[in-house]
């Protein structure tokens, strides 16, 4: 798919101007926009600015609160529960991260469960924030049911992303994975571009594998690694939704469904203070040795070196430090959103 290069600063400012029209405070609008654009920079457009029109429609319809930062409803030792009050996920996750770090600093471990949440971008972003602060970060979130049980024909559980990040000598080492074979956002990008999808990504509504993205959107995602991915997704649902007293399973509503109906997902953040276990420098040295061994291992194709977890995203980010790749379909949707909001659209769209 052909990508158009857009200046990062301009894209962030443009997205922030759209959010501001829906009552989001300027600083908060800029922060949310930075998080979304970062996903595009890291080669994860399914969690980038393609989401802006959907966010705007939910802000306009009232299912997302433009101002909430989240409220702490209980706290015990290093553990807290936050009611996100249906606020923008990036803002309420920022609150949760601060609480998790505070708990880790005082107790060695800090855990925060969040209920009544909204989409927060990539789980890896938040795990990385914890790692940059010297902690091992583990972040979980649940989604509406998208995957069937093995051999089943009805959606039972979301693709429930999991991210783990550890401090390293240069940038954190990050595992960020949804538990489906592919994210629904990738399928939506394929649908917008008129492209087929691989046959092991999804099924139609009858549970039959399909290469048609439109049928997949109406159908179900297939779990990664079969019963392993399905089982992990169930456990994440129980950890994030169960511990927060939040949405689990079908209580979570479609992200692209009725924009007036709250999404009601749940998140879980765990910060592990490394120096509660060992010297941070020695741990980071070990991480560096492991990563170097991975990167210098002999590849099948010398032109394609072996990569450590998180390398594709960090490599993409370096290449897109100033100019962010955005596909034309996403730019057209942003142009339409700008017209609706009466905001100037500052980019050209390649034909």
**Burial of residue 58, with CB atoms counted within 10 A of its CB: 0-12 exposed, 13-18 middle, 19 or more buried:** buried
CA 235 → CA 34, 51, 60, 142, 162, distances in Å? 31, 27, 34, 10, 11
Task: Give the mean pLDDT of the chain.
Answer: 96
Query: Distance (Å, rounded) from C-alpha 157 to C-alpha 221?
Result: 10
**Averaged over 137-158, what is the pLDDT?**
94
Query: Distance (Å, rounded) from C-alpha 243 to C-alpha 246?
Result: 8
- Contact indicator for 328, 347 with CB cutoff of 8 Å: no
Question: pLDDT tens digits, residue range 310-341?
Answer: 999 999 999 999 999 999 999 999 999 999 99
Question: pLDDT tens digits, residue range 250-281?
Answer: 999 999 999 999 999 999 999 999 999 999 99
Query: Distance (Å, rounded) from C-alpha 62 to C-alpha 240?
Result: 24
- Contact indicator for 180, 146 with CB cutoff of 8 Å: yes
Ramachandran sector of residue 268 (left: φ over 0; alpha: ψ -120 to 50; beta: rest): beta
**Averaged over 188-214, what is the pLDDT?**
93
Tell whether the model's pLDDT for residue 1 goes beyond 70: no
Question: pLDDT tens digits, residue range 2-58?
Answer: 788 999 999 999 999 999 999 999 999 999 999 999 999 999 999 999 999 999 999
Percentage of the chain lying above the pLDDT 90 cut: 93
**Averaged over 190-217, what is the pLDDT?**
93
Question: pLDDT tens digits, residue range 61-98?
Answer: 999 999 999 999 999 999 999 999 999 999 999 999 99
Backbone phi, psi, residue 110, to 5°: -135, 125
**Averaged over 294-299, what is the pLDDT?**
97
């Amino acid at each position: 798919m052909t990508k158009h290069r857009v200046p990062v600063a301009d894209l962030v400012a443009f997205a922030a101007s759209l959010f501001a029209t829906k009552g989001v405070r300027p600083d908060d609008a800029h922060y949310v926009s930075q998080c979304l654009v970062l996903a595009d920079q890291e080669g994860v457009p399914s969690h980038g600015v393609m989401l802006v029109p959907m966010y705007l429609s939910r802000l306009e319809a009232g299912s997302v609160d433009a101002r909430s930062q989240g409220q702490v409803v209980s706290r015990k030792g290093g553990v807290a529960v936050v009611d996100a009050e249906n606020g923008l996920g990036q803002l309420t996750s920022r609150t949760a991260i601060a609480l998790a770090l505070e708990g880790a600093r005082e107790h060695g471990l800090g855990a925060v469960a969040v209920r009544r949440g909204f989409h927060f971008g990539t789980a890896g972003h938040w795990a990385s924030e914890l790692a940059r602060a010297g902690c091992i970060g583990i972040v979980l979130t649940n989604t509406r049911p998208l995957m069937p049980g093995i051999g089943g024909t009805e959606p039972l559980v979301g693709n429930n992303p999991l991210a783990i990040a550890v401090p390293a000598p240069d940038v954190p080492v990050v595992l960020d994975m949804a538990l489906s074979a592919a994210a629904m956002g990738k399928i939506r990008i394929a649908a917008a571009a008129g492209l087929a999808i691989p046959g092991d990504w999804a099924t139609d509504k009858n549970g039959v594998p399909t290469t048609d993205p439109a049928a997949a959107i109406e159908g179900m995602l297939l779990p990664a690694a079969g019963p392993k991915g399905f089982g992990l997704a169930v456990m994440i649902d129980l950890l994030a939704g169960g511990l927060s007293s939040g949405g689990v399973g079908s209580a979570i509503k479609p992200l692209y469904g009725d924009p007036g109906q709250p999404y009601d997902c749940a998140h879980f953040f765990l910060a592990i203070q490394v120096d509660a276990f060992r010297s941070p420098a020695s741990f980071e040295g070990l991480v560096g040795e492991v990563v170097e061994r991975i990167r210098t291992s002999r590849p099948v194709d010398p032109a394609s070196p072996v990569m450590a977890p998180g390398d594709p995203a960090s490599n993409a980010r370096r290449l897109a430090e100033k100019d962010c790749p955005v596909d034309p379909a996403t730019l057209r949707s942003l142009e339409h959103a700008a017209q609706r909001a009466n905001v100037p659209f500052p980019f050209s769209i390649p034909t």
